[in-house]
């Protein structure tokens, strides 16, 4: 009897993803009326916001990887990167581009560093923990100005986001011990760099390759945006999201926080843009609560971004664990810094 039960349990475990995907397909059919506008909205968001803001950065970073700029930054910034983050100076390229461009550029560069043997496995994992961030265009422009209607709020969120990112990097300097130095690999080593440096003769080839790789990544992101828009629509239409909200309501009541934030927070844990949009639209006399929750979501990034990063790193031997721990820590620290700034500087306090 017990062996038969164990057999069924084992069978379910082996086919769990099959059941989940089949359930998802059925839900798409059942809630097709609600899904269609959600998919259109997701496609519109990708085409009008994601592609214009990220695609040029993807191409530029691909091109820069074929130049000496990474090496130059490595020499110049090694005195800062090594003591602070326990990463060689070349890692500064991932940090800078990750800050100014947004998700998932930092993770893409860290993965490229691993593929080209610019940094060791441990150093690339440290880079994953703190270089994949929200960009100023999204935080100040989309979140601050469009959602909250204030560039000052956007600036506050960007400052605390970067400070939290640096803090996480300092904490993760202790992540594992570097096992080898890529610079000391021999010519016949399998770890040898495979980068091709750009010149007049191969400019067209490298530009074409950079555009092709960037298109592949931007399409991947578009797919995730659409799928998660669909998932959120299904959760809303089926009442599952409201049920989850009801489960966490006692926690919000305990901390004397308006329970309307629960839906925005849970949605944001799945997909950052939709969640922040809900939170920013909640009418609350203490606007600082809206801002602090937004700071957490900007730091955490959401499951959608996590899966985008995982799809990029899965082609290497990099562990995804430091990224997960780093982003959770980033969200908590960013929320804490935002709370401190709001209560310290009066011009950042928008409470009525």
Of 36-45, 52-61, 114-123, the least confident: 52-61
Q: pLDDT value at position 174? A: 84
Listed in sequence order, the DSSP H helices in 88-239 are 91-101, 105-115, 121-131, 136, 151-171, 203-238
**340 within 8 A of 145, measured Cβ to Cβ:** no
Element (H, E) at 280: helix 272-280
Q: pLDDT value at position 137? A: 82
Q: pLDDT value at position 204? A: 86
The radius of gyration of the chain's CA atoms, rounded to the nearest angstrom, is: 22
Buried b (16+ CB within 10 A) or exposed e, 307-324: ebbebbbeeeebbeebbb
- Residues constituting the chain: 352
Tokens of 42: 């997701």
Buried b (16+ CB within 10 A) or exposed e, 228-261: bbbbbbbbbbeeebeeebeeeeeebeeeebeeeb
**For the segment 302-327, what is each residue's pLDDT rounded down to a tens digit?**
898 999 899 888 888 889 999 999 99
Q: pLDDT value at position 189? A: 39
**For the segment 169-195, what is each residue's pLDDT rounded down to a tens digit?**
999 988 876 655 554 443 333 445 556
């Amino acid at each position: 009897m017990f062996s038969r039960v164990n057999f069924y349990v084992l069978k379910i475990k082996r086919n769990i993803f099959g059941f989940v995907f089949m359930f998802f397909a059925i839900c798409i059919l059942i809630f097709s009326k609600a899904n269609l506008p959600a998919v259109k909205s997701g496609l519109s968001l990708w085409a009008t916001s994601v592609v214009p803001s990220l695609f040029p950065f993807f191409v530029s970073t691909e091109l820069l990887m074929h130049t000496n700029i990474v090496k130059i930054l490595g020499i110049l910034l090694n005195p800062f990167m090594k003591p602070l983050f326990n990463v060689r100076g070349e890692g500064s390229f991932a940090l800078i581009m990750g800050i100014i461009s947004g998700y998932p550029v930092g993770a893409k560069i860290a993965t490229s560093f691993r593929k080209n043997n610019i940094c060791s496995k441990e150093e690339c994992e440290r880079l994953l923990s703190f270089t994949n961030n929200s960009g100023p265009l999204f935080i100040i422009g989309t979140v601050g100005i469009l959602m909250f209607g204030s560039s000052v709020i956007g600036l506050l969120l960007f400052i605390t986001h970067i400070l939290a990112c640096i803090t996480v990097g300092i904490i993760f300097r202790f992540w594992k011990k570097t096992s080898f130095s890529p610079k000391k690999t021999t010519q016949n080593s399998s770890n040898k760099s495979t980068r091709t440096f750009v010149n007049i003769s191969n400019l067209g080839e490298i530009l074409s390759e950079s555009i092709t790789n960037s298109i592949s990544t931007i399409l991947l992101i578009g797919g995730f945006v659409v799928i998660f828009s669909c998932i959120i629509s299904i959760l809303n239409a089926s009442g599952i999201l409201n049920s989850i909200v009801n489960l966490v309501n006692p926690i919000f009541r305990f901390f004397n926080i308006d329970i309307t934030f629960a839906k925005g927070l849970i949605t944001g844990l799945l997909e950052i843009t939709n969640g922040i949009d809900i939170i920013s639209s909640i009418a609350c006399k203490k606007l600082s609560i809206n801002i602090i929750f937004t700071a957490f979501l900007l730091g955490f990034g959401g499951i959608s971004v996590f899966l985008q990063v995982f799809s990029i790193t899965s082609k290497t031997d990099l562990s995804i664990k430091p990224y997960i721990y780093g982003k959770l820590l980033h969200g908590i620290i960013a929320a804490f810094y935002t709370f401190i700034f709001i209560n310290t500087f009066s011009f950042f306090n928008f409470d009525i």
